[in-house]
Structure 1
């Protein structure tokens, strides 16, 4: 399979690229600097590296990069700096999601391309009317107003839920929602649920980035896993020891 990964130089994106290459797939990445990729990735025979700012690419160029891909995975996010949180582009994830989906549609693939979006457990799935306490709603509302990346995550998933929908002839999608992200060196057992089983504000769980990468790689390349979660927003947690 051929998978396009955006956000490939981020903490989770690098791990996703490594997972896909390890499984023997062809991987394309769009990165602003190839030097931010690990040496083992840059020199891998199955990697195609495009050095560009995704949002600066012309529609025709972006269409060329998605053409022939079986899946597109986005690990885009905002850097945890003042400029990254409050500077432009304030809707990086949303704008990239919308442009990638449009490029896939215009490429007229012979089969439905899988789109996998990394998001956050703090973003409720409105399709399921997920419950939230009054305190949770107040805090999330404040975060939405004060921290632009949260609203960006909400709107990016909205592009897939509302603009693309579940019956698009060109692509189908899954939104992956990890809880509090941590670093681990190896994949461990993890749990998946259609909706949060913990309050992401007041009782957050943990999710290792490498587990997120493993699950996203499964979604992009494993038919059984994809069919189980397509059109949904699964939440992923590290499995806790009893």
Structure 2
């Protein structure tokens, strides 16, 4: 099985690559620089690197990237700098998600391709009636209007929910929603919920990046885990 990983040299993406390789998967990683990628990613015979800028890639390039892949995983995100948050491309995650989905459709695989998108607990699943307090709704509305990455996360997930939907014969998806991301060296116990059990604004939980990577790899490699969560937006918290 081959998985295409976007954002493979990021803080979570490189951990996902490691988790997939540990499971014996073939990984095709899109990286900006091969030399920098070698410092971040394990040198492994099952890992192939494609040096490219996602924003500059043609539709043909993207179709070639997803060709032969049974799964696509996106850990793309905005750098936490002024330029990364407020500068272009403001719709990095959304545009990549849309174009990757289109590439999967154009390839016409005989079986549905899995798409796993890393997102955020601050984004509600609008397929469900998730409870949000008035105060939290006000804060999220402000973030939506002033912080481009938040709106980008919402639109990326909405594309999978509405444009791809629940019964697409070519593509199945899961949107993984961690809360406050922290760094840990080893996988630990974590809890999964269909909807948030705490406020992402006023009572945020913690999600270690390695646990997020572990769950994303489980979704891709374990059919029972995939069947449990496909078409949903699970929340991941580290266990108390």
Q: How high is the TM-score relative to the length of structure 1?
A: 0.97
Equivalent position SS for 1:122: coil
CA contact (8 A) 1:41 1:47 kept: no
Provide, for residues 156-213 of structure 1, a one-character-per-residue CA deviation record: whole Å limited to 9, x for no partner: 0001001110111111000000000000000000000000000110000000000000
Once the two structures are TM-superposed, the CA of residue 55 in structure 1 deviates from its matched residue by: 2.4
Cα distance in structure 2, aligned partners of 1:140 and 1:39:
37
The 2-side partners of 1:40 and 1:128 are apart by 38
* Aligned length, in residue pairs: 240
Match for residue 16 of structure 2? Answer: 16
CA RMSD of superposed structures (Å): 1.0
Which sits farther off after the overlay, 39-48 or 217-226? 39-48
> Which residue matches 1:172?
172
Aligned counterpart, 1:223: 223
Query: CA–CA distance in 2 between the matches of 1:58 and 1:180?
Result: 34
Alignment partners' CA distance in 1, 2:38 and 2:20 = 14
Q: Take 1:154 and 1:93, find their aligned partners in 2: how far apart are those partners?
A: 10
Q: Distance in 2 between matches of 1:63 and 1:107?
A: 7
Q: Quick one: structure 1 residues 207 and 8, their matched pair in 2 at CA, closer, same or farther if it must change by over 3 Å?
A: same
User: What residue is the counterpart of 2:150 in the other structure?
Assistant: 150
Give ranges in structure 2 of 5+ residues lacking alignment: none
Quote the offset at 1:42 in angstroms: 5.3
Counterpart residue number, 2:84: 84
Q: Tell me, in whole angstroms, the C-alpha distance in 2 between the residues paired with 1:225 and 1:123.
A: 22
Residue 184 of structure 1: aligned partner: 184
- Are the structure 2 counterparts of residues 23 and 115 from structure 1 closer, same or farther at C-alpha, using a change threshold of 3 Å? same
Structure 1 unaligned residues grouped into runs of 5+:
none
Contact in 1 for aligned 2:18/2:42 (Cα 8 Å): no
Q: Secondary structure at the match of 2:123?
A: coil
SS of corresponding position for 1:154? helix
Distance 1:131 1:81 in 2: 31
Residue aligning to 1:68: 68
Q: Distance in 2 between matches of 1:36 and 1:15?
A: 15
- Counterpart contact for 1:34–1:42, Cα < 8 Å: no
**1:225, 1:68 → 2: CA distance?**
22
- 1:44-123 → structure 2 map (5 Å cutoff): 44-123=44-123
CA distance in 1, matches of 2:58, 2:150: 27
Q: Deviations over 1:64-103 (max 9, x none)?
A: 1101101000000000001100000000000000000000
Alpha-carbon deviations, 1:204-227, whole Å to 9, x = none? 000000000000000111100000
In the TM superposition, what whole-angstrom CA distance separates every residue of 1:131-178 from its partner, at most 9, and x where no partner exists?
A: 100000001111111110000000000010011101111110000000
CA distance in 1, matches of 2:139, 2:40: 42
